Chains A and B, each alone.
Chain A
C-alpha cells in the first residue's frame, strides 16, 4: 500500500487561509510566518484525515460546530499563561488607566479590578504585584481584585499559588525574591499576603445568568479567551463584560485579540502604552 504523500500548502492556499483566519480572528499572518502556519495547518490536515488542504479548508469553513477552527486557533496562539505576560498593559494600567478612573471615584469607594479568565493565577497575581510595586497611590485606595475562571481545578492551583520556573521566568529577580519563597522541590510559592488579596471565583463568561452578579468593575482583564470562541459566544461574552463594567470602565484584551472582531459596544481609547477599550460614559 502506498503511504499518501504529505500534504503541502501552496502560496495561493496560504493566502486563502490567511484571509479567512484574519476575518475570523483579526490575526494576520505576514509572509514571514509562512513556515509556522504551514506546519500547523499540515498537522491539522493529517489529524483530521484530510488528504489535501482543499478538503480540509472546506471542512474548516463549513463546520457548524466550529471545533476545528478552535483547534487551529489553539495551535496558532500561545495557550500558556505566565507572570507579567503582555506587561505593557499593566504599565498602561498604572500609568494611564487608573488616572483616568480616579476623578470619577467618590471618597472611600474601592477600585474594582477583574481578571477573567485568571487561569492558574499568574495574571491576577501579576496585577497585584504590579499595583503594589509600580502604582504610587496604591496605599491611598482600597483595591478589590477578583479573579475568575470556568475551570475549578485550575482555580485550586491559583488559590494555592505554587509555580514552576517557566511561569516566573519573566518576573524581575528582585520581585521574585520579595513575593515568593522557594519550596523544597524547587517550586516557587507566592506569599500569603498576595494569596489573601485576591478573590477566586468560578464562572462561565458566556452564561449571562452566572455573570449577573459581577458588576461595577473599573477595569477588566479579559485576555486570551475570546479568541477561542465562535462569533455568537464572543457576542454573548461581550454583553456580559459590558454589564460588568461601570460606565467609563476599561477592558484589556490579549495582544492578538481585537474588539473589531467582536462588538462595537466599546470606545477605542489610545494611551501611550496601549490601545484599550472603554465602556462609554453615557
Chain B
C-alpha cells in the first residue's frame, strides 16, 4: 500500500493499560510500587502533578533498580525541585551504587538555589569520596558562590583527590584571586606530577591572556 495518511486523528484508539488505571494521587502512588517497570515509570512521570509526593519519590529512587524508572523519577524530582527533594537526595550521595550517585549529582546540579545552603557542610564532610561528589555537583552548578566554595577547598582540604577535583572546576570558574591558593598545592602534595599538571592547567586557563581593557 505504501505511504498512507491516517487522517487527522493520530491518537491510537486505546492507550495502554496505564491509561485504564486511575491517574489520581493515590492511584499513581500505588502504581509506583507495581511489579512492572513500565507502570512504575509512568507513575513516576505523572506524579509531577503532585509535588507533595517528593519524599515517596526519593524513597523509591533509593531502591529502584531499573534505569528507565530511575531516569523518570529523576526527571520528576528535578521538575519538583523543592528543598525537600534536595534534603532527601543529598544523603544518597553516600550510596554504594555508582549509577545512583551520579544520577543524584546530576539532579542536584539542576537545583542551585536549593543546594546552596547545604554546600559548605557537604564540602567539610569527613568522607573524602563524599566531598569529591559534592565538588562534582559544583562542576555544573549555576551558583555565583561556587568559586568561593572551591577556593576554600583548595586552601584547607588535605586530600589530594579532593583538591584535584576542585582545581578541575576552578580551571573553568576560577578568577585571579584563587591563583595564590592554587600555587601552594603542588608543594602540599609532595610535588605530585598529576597535581602539578592540574594546577598549571588551571592557572593558565584562569589567566588566559586575552585583551583586557
Contact = CB atoms under 8 A, between A and B. Distances in A.
A199 B209 contact: no
Interface string A41-66: 00000000001111000100111100
B3 A235 contact: no
Interface stretch (B57-65, B70-78, B153-161, B181-189): B70-78
Interface stretch (B9-17, B127-135, B191-199): B9-17
A9 interface: yes
A64 B68 contact: no
Nearest to A196: B5
A276 B81 CA distance: 32
A139 to B, nearest CB: 5
A183 interface: no
Contacts of B140: 23, 231
Nearest to A56: B210
B172 A4 contact: no
Contacts of A216: 12
A146 B78 contact: no
Nearest to B143: A62
Contacts of B6: 110, 144, 146, 199
A54 B208 contact: yes
Contacts of B175: 54, 58
Interface in A231-249: 231-232, 235-236, 238-239, 242-243
A235 B78 contact: yes
B209 A10 contact: yes
A138 interface: yes
B211 A15 contact: no
B10 A213 contact: yes
B49 to A, nearest CB: 9
Given A61-B142, A61-B172, A53 B208 contact: yes
Interface residues of B, number: 45
Interface size class of A (residues with CB under 8 A): 35 or more
Contact of A201 (B10, B48, B67): B10
Among A6, A132, A232, chain B packs the most CB atoms within 10 A around the CB of: A232
A20 interface: yes
B213 interface: yes
Contacts of A5: 211, 213
B45 interface: yes
A197 interface: yes
Nearest to A52: B212
Among B75, B207, B210, chain A packs the most CB atoms within 10 A around the CB of: B210
B82 interface: no
A232 B144 contact: no
B210 A13 contact: yes
A143 B2 contact: yes
A166 B123 CA distance: 55
B26 interface: no
A196 B5 CA distance: 7
Given A12-B209, A239-B71, A62 B142 contact: yes
Nearest to B208: A13
A8 interface: yes
A215 B12 contact: yes
Given A54-B208, A199-B6, A199-B8, A235 B213 contact: no
Interface in B31-51: 45, 48
B112 A144 contact: no
B79 interface: yes
Contact of B171 (A16, A146, A198): A16
A230 B48 CA distance: 19
B98 interface: no
Contact of B213 (A4, A198, A265): A4
B94 interface: no
A123 B91 CA distance: 46
B79 A63 contact: no
Contacts of B210: 7-10, 13, 52-54
B41 to A, nearest CB: 9
A141 B1 CA distance: 6
B172 A16 contact: yes
14 contacts: A7-B210, A8-B210, A12-B204, A15-B205, A52-B212, A54-B212, A110-B6, A128-B3, A143-B2, A146-B10, A214-B10, A215-B11, A235-B78, A263-B71
Given A5-B213, A197-B3, A265-B71, 12 more contacts: A12-B208, A51-B212, A52-B213, A53-B208, A198-B5, A199-B8, A215-B12, A231-B110, A232-B78, A235-B71, A239-B72, A239-B75
